[in-house]
Copies of this chain bind each other. A is one copy, B any other.
Amino acid sequence: MSVHTLQDLADRVNGRILGDSSLEIRGASSLANAGPHDITFAVDEKNLKRLKKDARPGACVIPEKLVSSASVEGLPFPLVAVADALDAFLLILREFRPQPPRSTIGVSAAAHVAPTAQVGADTNIYPGVYIDAGAQVGSRCDLYPGVYVGPGCKIGNDCVLHPHVVLYAGIEVGNRVILHAGAVLGADGFGYRFRNARFEKIPQLGTVIVHDDVEIGANTTVDRGMIGPTIIGQGTKLDNQVMIGHNCELGKHNVFASQVGLAGSSSTGDFVRLAGQVGVADHVHLGQGCTVGAKSGVHRDIPAGETHVGAPARPELEELKIVMATARTPEMRKQIRDLEARLQALEKRLDSPAGSERG
């Protein structure tokens, strides 16, 4: 275990210490778990309030702009003020958990690399990897054990394919792409014709194209197109267990949380955000910069920039009103019954010989 004085750490991140700079720091931890010799961090007023209420760290990194916050006053431990608290904390965290340098195992003799396949410089091919005919893997990549690269695939530079990633034939992957364990790219799209009382498979002759800087989560699946490609745009991040159907075309810098599913031929603009377990029907377009709330079911296009929620998904404010009103439906039923009774009483009263205004 490494030990640093608070001064050492503050110097490391160009921080300004408020309090005892000689304090010994033995670890870096989250706000909730930090002990008296751990350093932690806060990024906003909400964090500061939790800090004041619950937490007892050894020290805390905070943004300069929060130094004069009322929540900071009277904190019984030293602070390190910096421009960007998260960045600074991550640097400090690495002091305590030094990451091992990248391995350099080269191409393992226990991997299978087809004679016609190409592997770039400084790329690690672990035991148990299978690279089929004509595939190309760029430089400085890591292909962990069990990775399967089908015939004719192309993988760029600086990619990481974690264990058991599967690329079916002909898949194209850009540069700096991270594919997590168990991700499957290029399985056949789910296409059948119902004929002669059975489902006939429609051959899926398209491919998958993954652009630069994409990250794809564990056990996520991206199906190959039927004719053209399924496309994952540059910088897009897919969490675990996401499903992208055949011929979908995702824009740049999308972020899909886990267990999201897109049926075939849907498309998105850039900067689209889908929360967990969202489902999107086929042939739907999600406009640039739109957001969809958790568990929503989308079956119509969403205009650029809008936030939709619910199943069926609607504009957020509209859905919120409906959810709130729906929660009152039991009360509404009573109100209707009550109105009905009072109305009937009035009608009776007006109709009765004594009460009738015609009487």
Contacts and interface: CB of A to CB of B under 8 A. Distances in A.
24 contacts: A28-B227, A33-B227, A33-B228, A86-B193, A90-B203, A162-B187, A178-B188, A178-B201, A180-B184, A180-B187, A187-B217, A190-B258, A218-B221, A219-B219, A241-B241, A243-B276, A258-B263, A277-B279, A325-B329, A326-B326, A328-B333, A336-B339, A343-B346, A356-B357
B203 A221 contact: no
A164 to B, nearest CB: 5
A259 B257 contact: no
Nearest to A237: B199
A227 B30 contact: yes
A55 interface: no
B327 A336 contact: no
A63 interface: no
Interface stretch (A5-13, A67-75, A293-301): A293-301
Interface of A: 28-30, 33, 86, 90, 93-94, 97, 99-100, 110, 112, 126-128, 130, 144-146, 148, 151, 162-164, 166, 168, 178, 180-182, 184, 187-188, 190, 192-193, 197-199, 201-203, 205, 213, 215, 217-219, 221, 223, 226-228, 235, 237, 239-241, 243, 245, 247, 253, 255, 257-259, 261, 263, 276-277, 279, 281, 294-295, 297, 299, 311-312, 314, 321-330, 332-333, 335-336, 339-340, 342-343, 346-347, 349-350, 354-359
Nearest to A310: B311
Contacts of A245: 258
Most chain B beta-carbon contacts within 10 A, residue among A261, A311, A328: A261
Contacts of A144: 148
Given A90-B205, A328-B333, 8 more contacts: A99-B205, A187-B218, A218-B223, A277-B277, A294-B297, A294-B299, A324-B330, A332-B336
